[in-house]
């Protein structure tokens, strides 16, 4: 029977307690939300919603084609210029998602004969970029610049190291300065995925590369998503103008993909302008993360110290993590639940988003619910 193997895989997944199911999401909910990636609470900000609506009114419901075919709008150009300027890079190119931006950066910058050195804790989209790239990938230990050096030392030819800036599972930060030093020593490029850094790290949320003094360097490329701190949708690659020009010609997820939807571009631009006006939002998200971590630890929970706004709490098993998240939900708190294969070390976790707009009372309530429902 066609696709007969699906049932076999499904059975194995059920036995391991790893089945994923889609849950309906109402337009408004009384749940306290610590599951989304809306770090700055901007997704429903009136200026962001109006940015989306007015862009759709002006430019339509979709981009109508690849920007190389139907042309590039003033809106996309404005977003790219302001985003690059904000993060401290020479140029930017937006994509329909952060996932597509990561595929673009890795595949276009790792040609045949090149080496890609990839952190073992990298996001799935970087991993998939490595899988699609023509170069050869070497996976190295998590947050280990010496391992990157050793890998680069073995290779003769173009090379690039790729790493998340903030790892999505535990919320720990990559040793960016040491990675950049390692790359520079061997003439390699560095690609960093700042999905969880933009809006949270760096001066006023300018991102982890800016915070580490790497933004604008000729050997550093950053990718971002517009779907987390900016509360919109889409992604971007930031870097030297010559790299961005190369992506327009070489990145298949730019060339063969419909351009970023105008509404998403308009929302992201409005959010970016808000962040420029209100830079304290970034520090507030970091402060909420620190407070959440401290209260969880005081309550005896195994929470990882956050470097940005992701707070991770370890669970005894995948089944108990799922039950724990469901019990939190029943008590009015929405939290993320990470299980294999999304966690490289096999340890399941509750994953909390330290939204900058959470009040002290909401933080206390979240910690109380997590503590009361613990397995």
Ligand X SMILES: Cc1ncc(COP(=O)(O)O)c(C=O)c1O
Shortest distance in whole angstroms from residue 273 CB to ligand X: 20
Q: Is 235 one of the binding residues for ligand X (CB under 6 A)?
A: yes
Stretch that binds ligand X, among 62-70, 103-111, 189-197, 268-276 (CB under 6 A): 189-197
Q: How far is the CB of 237 from ligand X (least distance, A)?
A: 12
- Residue 73 or 102: the one with the smaller Cβ distance to ligand X is 102
Which is closer to ligand X, CB of 263 or CB of 367?
A: 263
| Residue 193 makes contact with ligand X by CB under 6 A | yes
Q: Is 145 in the site for ligand X (CB under 6 A)?
A: no
Is 99 a binder of ligand X (CB under 6 A)?
yes
Q: For the window 9-28, what string marks contact with ligand X as x by the rule CB under 6 A?
A: --------------------
Q: How far is the CB of 144 from ligand X (least distance, A)?
A: 18
Q: How many CB atoms lie within 10 A of CB 150?
A: 14
Q: Is residue 195 close enough to count as binding ligand X by CB under 6 A?
A: yes
Cβ nearer to ligand X, comparing 125 with 137: 125
* Of the residues 114, 118, 138, 168, which one makes contact with ligand X according to CB under 6 A: 168
Instruction: For the CB of residue 122, give the shortest distance to ligand X in the complex, in Å.
Output: 8
Q: For ligand X, which is the closer residue by CB, 208 or 369?
A: 208
The reply on whether position 225 binds ligand X by CB under 6 A is yes
Question: Residue 102 interacts with ligand X (CB under 6 A)?
Answer: yes
Work out whether 227 is an interface residue with ligand X (CB under 6 A): yes
Q: How far is the CB of 243 from ligand X (least distance, A)?
A: 19
What is the binding site for ligand X (CB under 6 A)? 97-99, 102, 123, 125, 164, 168, 193, 195-196, 225, 227, 235
């Amino acid at each position: 029977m066609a696709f007969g193997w699906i049932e076999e895989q499904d059975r194995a997944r059920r036995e391991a307690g790893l089945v994923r199911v889609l849950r309906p999401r109402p337009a408004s909910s009384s749940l306290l939300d610590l599951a989304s990636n809306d770090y700055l609470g901007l997704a429903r900000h009136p200026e962001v919603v109006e940015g989306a609506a007015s862009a759709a009114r002006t430019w339509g419901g979709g981009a109508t084609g690849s920007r190389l075919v139907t042309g590039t709008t003033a809106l996309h150009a404005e977003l790219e210029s302001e985003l690059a300027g904000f993060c401290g890079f020479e140029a930017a190119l937006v994509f329909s998602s952060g996932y597509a931006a990561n595929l673009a950066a890795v595949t276009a910058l790792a040609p045949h004969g090149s080496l890609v050195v990839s952190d073992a804790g990298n996001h799935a989209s970087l991993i998939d970029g490595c899988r699609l790239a023509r170069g050869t990938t070497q996976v190295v230990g998590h947050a280990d610049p010496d391992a990157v050096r050793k890998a680069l030392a073995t290779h003769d030819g173009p090379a690039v190291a790729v790493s998340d800036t903030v790892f999505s599972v535990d919320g720990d930060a990559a040793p960016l300065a040491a990675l950049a030093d390692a790359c520079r020593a061997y003439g390699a490029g560095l690609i960093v995925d700042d999905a969880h850094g933009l809006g949270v790290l760096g001066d006023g949320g300018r991102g982890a590369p800016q915070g580490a003094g790497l933004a604008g360097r000729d050997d550093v490329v950053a990718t971002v998503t517009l779907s987390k701190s900016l509360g919109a949708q889409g992604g971007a690659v930031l870097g030297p103008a010559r790299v961005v020009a190369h992506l327009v010609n070489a990145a298949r997820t730019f060339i063969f993909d419909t351009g970023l939807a105008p509404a998403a571009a308009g929302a992201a631009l409005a959010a970016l302008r808000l962040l420029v006006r209100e830079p304290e939002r970034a520090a507030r998200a970091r402060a909420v993360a620190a407070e959440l971590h401290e209260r969880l630890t005081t309550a005896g929970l195994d929470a990882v110290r956050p470097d940005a706004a992701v707070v991770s709490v370890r669970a005894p098993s995948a089944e108990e993590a799922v039950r724990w998240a469901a019990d939190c939900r029943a008590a009015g708190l929405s939290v993320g639940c990470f299980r294999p294969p999304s966690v490289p070390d096999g340890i399941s976790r509750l994953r909390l988003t330290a939204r900058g707009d959470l009040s002290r009372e909401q933080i206390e309530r979240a910690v109380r619910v997590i503590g009361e429902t613990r397995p």
